[in-house]
Structure 1
Amino acid sequence: MQINLELIVRSTEIDVNGHVNNAKYLEYLEWGREEWYEANALPYEVLKEHGVQTVTVNININYRKECRQGDRLTVITQPQSIGRSSYVLLQRIVNEQGELCADAQVTSVTMDVDTRKSRPVPDPLRDLFA
């Protein structure tokens, strides 16, 4: 399922070049992933009940267009692919004009809460990639 998160660029997110600092894009993506988990009834507590936590292990991001203070952005998050203990979410950030500002593939691993080792993706999460 695709989830959209709307946000407005704040003054504290702007760098000396007058546009959104590159690190803030990663934060926007994190907010989008949190929204995706929540919308799919898999918040942190539920995943923990399944004995796992999710850990981001790789983010491959492309910065396409600068964003400025006051811009209204949408963070789009959707499942892309899944393996035994890892999965990839595709994320895009678009502006009000529908222009692509950034896109990323984010790989996460499900980690056992006790052993801190990877373990198979639980079925409720796996089902979102069907």
Structure 2
Amino acid sequence: MTFRIPIVVRSYELDALGHVNHAVYHQYAEVARMNGFRAAGCDWDGLMGRRTAPVLLSTTVNFRRELRANEDIEVSCEVKFGTGKTFNVNSMITKADGTVSAEIYCIVGLMDLEARKLLADPRTSLEAAGFDPAVLTAFDQH
């Protein structure tokens, strides 16, 4: 099952055109990432205790449909590991009727906070901190 978190669009998140400001989409994805990692057994305090932290290296948003005040949305969180120092954490913002509002694609690394360098094997390090990648499976394609 895909991790999803409900959010209600707040009026102060709107721009002059009356729809959600572009920067707020990044905040919605961050809410999904933080809550998704916690649901997968790996919270911020646990990572900080290990002197590691996820760092966002790149993010791309594809805007599909506008969001307006008081809309109920869901934001998904999906993690894809490969080889190397980075991994993907992607989100899809979906309106209550199933319409995709935005797709957010992120490249993330796990930083050693003492050395200030990315860890070579982020998946193994996250799993050692309690992270269960099965919780953040591929999101549904609408």
In the TM superposition, structure 1's runs of 4+ consecutive aligned residues that sit over 3 Å from their partners are none
Report the Cα offset of residue 62 of structure 1: 0.2
Corresponding residue number in structure 2 for 1:32: 32
Corresponding residue number in structure 1 for 2:57: 57
Change (3 A) 1:73 1:123: closer
Matched, 1:43 2:43: yes
What letter corresponds to residue 102 of structure 1 in structure 2? A
- Give unpaired runs (5+ residues) of structure 2: 138-142
What letter corresponds to residue 34 of structure 2 in structure 1? E
Report the Cα offset of residue 123 of structure 1: 4.8
Distance in 1 (CA, whole Å) between partners of 2:4 and 2:77 is 7
Distance in 2 (CA, whole Å) between partners of 1:110 and 1:67 is 32
1:68-112, CA deviations, whole angstroms, 9 ceiling, x for partnerless residues? Answer: 001000001111233332110121000000000000111111110
TM-score, structure 1 length as denominator? 0.91
Counting matched residue pairs gives 130
1:28-78, CA deviations, whole angstroms, 9 ceiling, x for partnerless residues? Answer: 011010011110111112123333111000001100000000100000111
Change (3 A) 1:115 1:14: same
Identity %: 24
TM-score, structure 2 length as denominator? 0.84
Change (3 A) 1:127 1:96: closer
The Cα RMSD (Å) is 1.9
What letter corresponds to residue 73 of structure 1 in structure 2? I
Corresponding residue number in structure 1 for 2:140: none
Greater relative contact order (Cα < 8 A, sep 6+): 2
Asked whether the equivalents of residues 2 and 79 of structure 1 are also in contact (C-alpha less than 8 Å), the reply is no
Matched, 1:128 2:133: yes
Corresponding residue number in structure 2 for 1:99: 99
Distance in 1 (CA, whole Å) between partners of 2:113 and 2:132 is 21
